[in-house]
A and B are shown apart, each in its own frame.
Chain A
């Protein structure tokens, strides 16, 4: 079992998201995250899907997606150089002055934005890889009591240059470690 990534081009129509997500529940495939948005062609949407599965099931998933009339193209990103980011908001509440200072430090090191602040709370806005986001969440959990997390799921695109292949490889390996 390991994490795998699919980019899926679909018709931008009512019900297509339900059909795709319904496939995963109906056939007991393990869906980790699914994001969707329109592309440069407004009649086409692109989904980034992360699933946890073994090799045989993953082959089935790709075939099952392919046979849907509304699916235009299935791309297996698992072994491709890609750029992948996930948006994450972390709101830390009930902060003391010292807490706030620490949060600013954390934000600086993680290179994330402090996008809002109140008398006793701080909002961090992160656009990092899922793994980096996970690490940030772990750190915040260890330090603070009241945290609110909202995350959007990974969005990925194929790389242009090959030099970033190493980067994506690094992220992928970390995912495998996490799930094994």
Chain B
């Protein structure tokens, strides 16, 4: 029987036993005890951000890049509410996080005490598990449960609300080696019969297609997926989250499917006779009009989450399994199929409508993406949310040395920059490039201080079109160019009926170059194509974070595009 110790000591013990070496923490009245305990443990690095939203996106980026659980410590009340967006983001994209929120002492809960909120109640639908510790004796078990639940099965965020008096109270010192939860048994097998049925369908198909989702990247089953594609000779499309599951330059890789997917990829989904999908939830951005989705195909669906199967799309062969296990089995059976004709048809479509931007209108996003591909052959590419994200998803080339991190499910603007910082903190040896827009960049701008103080020298590519481009694109195409609330230059005295950039437009603020410099970082502005490569060369030499602001054409749009709710084969191409 170990001696009794305080809750705060047990918390740090738990971190050490879980192998946590980095904690993202922001102080406040209800976590001072935990911080004081961490003060004694230099082996755990505490990252201090400048805002709790930045904090949790940093933890997400860290978790994605390292594969470890991201650990957050924030205080009660506003500290806790500020992480809500990040919890939802992590929940949607299945990122393992353990988030500790301080809470007012037990006897004050429910009294509207200073900085008291019911954070467990608020986050119930966006966490995999959340609980307030009400008895010091339960702390060890709850912490063990938190790490176990966060990283097993379909990963996700777990929130532990820790009242201040639990942190200081004495109690059992044991941190359990393992925990058994009667209501939580992640699927650790694969139903071989079902899988065989699925494989038989695939094998008999004339026009088979793999649809590869983020599950492959989460399970880190990329190499197996690649082998399966090569062994079967079946072409593959990915979702945005599945991008990078197999190298993008592979001859059997077609591209992303979905709302801003490649023409050939969407046509392939529309015309395939068997769609073998792994690790995707058939989000509306992938399916479009559900009645028109893969209308000719029998669908096989492998997913670790029972609830993801036959929810959006009714499938012919459901298979509940971890992608790794399913792929291992499939690889035992996989035989080459005659897909030459099918492949050549897909390639024909790709030649008809390749991903390509005009090159006569100045510096286009495509040119920037191509330079990023050339300049960074390995490392981590992190994006924010918006047009730049879709351009990156279309043009960025990935292989086993390059990882792609993006906010796919929730689509959180302000995710990119802090997530890149977190990725860099987790993988300091890797080059981390953040691709962001001028809108999203301003949503967690304050994290530049975190990047500076942490020495997280990320290269931030800001694609500045002076607009909130994704929505402006919708206004441009579907709302008669009525640019309400999307122009970031707009001032009070601008005409209401402004139809786009003109010579009388006011200057853009902020000046990202000066802004970077004010933090001691570096800022480079790029106006034309010839300056792109030198800017990257210069950025790579720096020992500080670098902003590269690319002044791109203001009204550039992401194409192809499928209007929300339309069939995926009805693409706007020009």
Contact = CB atoms under 8 A, between A and B. Distances in A.
Nearest to A68: B183
A15 B311 contact: no
B134 interface: yes
Interface string A69-80: 111100000000
A125 interface: no
Interface stretch (A58-66, A105-113, A142-150): A58-66
A26 interface: yes
B134 A14 contact: yes
A15 B121 CA distance: 7
A69 B129 contact: yes
Nearest to A25: B125
Contacts of B306: 63, 66-67
Nearest to B126: A26
A26 B124 CA distance: 10
A69 B128 contact: yes
A23 B125 CA distance: 7
Contacts of B314: 56
A12 to B, nearest CB: 12
Interface string B149-163: 100000000000000
B131 A15 contact: yes
B307 A63 contact: yes
A59 B149 contact: no
Interface string A131-153: 00000000000000000000000
A166 interface: no
Residue of A15, A23, A26 with most partner-chain B CB within 10 A: A15
B160 to A, nearest CB: 13
A60 B183 contact: no
A130 interface: no
Contacts of A14: 132, 134
A22 B124 contact: yes
Contact of A67 (B121, B132, B134, B305): B305
Nearest to A67: B307
B352 to A, nearest CB: 37
Nearest to B308: A63
B124 A19 contact: yes
A69 B125 contact: no
A142 to B, nearest CB: 43
B120 A69 contact: no
A91 B252 CA distance: 73
Nearest to B307: A63
Interface in B128-144: 128-132, 134
Contacts of B134: 14
B87 to A, nearest CB: 15
A68 B182 CA distance: 11
Nearest to B154: A67
B181 interface: yes
Interface string A1-38: 00000000011011100110011001000000000000
A18 B124 contact: yes
Contacts of A59: 310
Contact of B183 (A11, A15, A23): A11
Nearest to B320: A63
Interface string B90-125: 000000000000000000000000000000110011
Contacts of A68: 183
B307 A69 contact: no
Contacts of B149: 69
Contacts of A11: 183
Residue of A26, A69, A72 with most partner-chain B CB within 10 A: A69
B478 interface: no
A163 B504 CA distance: 86
Given A66-B306, A72-B182, A60 B311 contact: yes
A63 B181 CA distance: 18
Nearest to A63: B307
B184 A69 contact: yes
Interface of A: 10-11, 13-15, 18-19, 22-23, 26, 56, 59-60, 63-64, 66-72
11 contacts: A10-B183, A11-B183, A13-B131, A14-B132, A14-B134, A19-B124, A22-B124, A23-B125, A64-B307, A71-B183, A72-B183
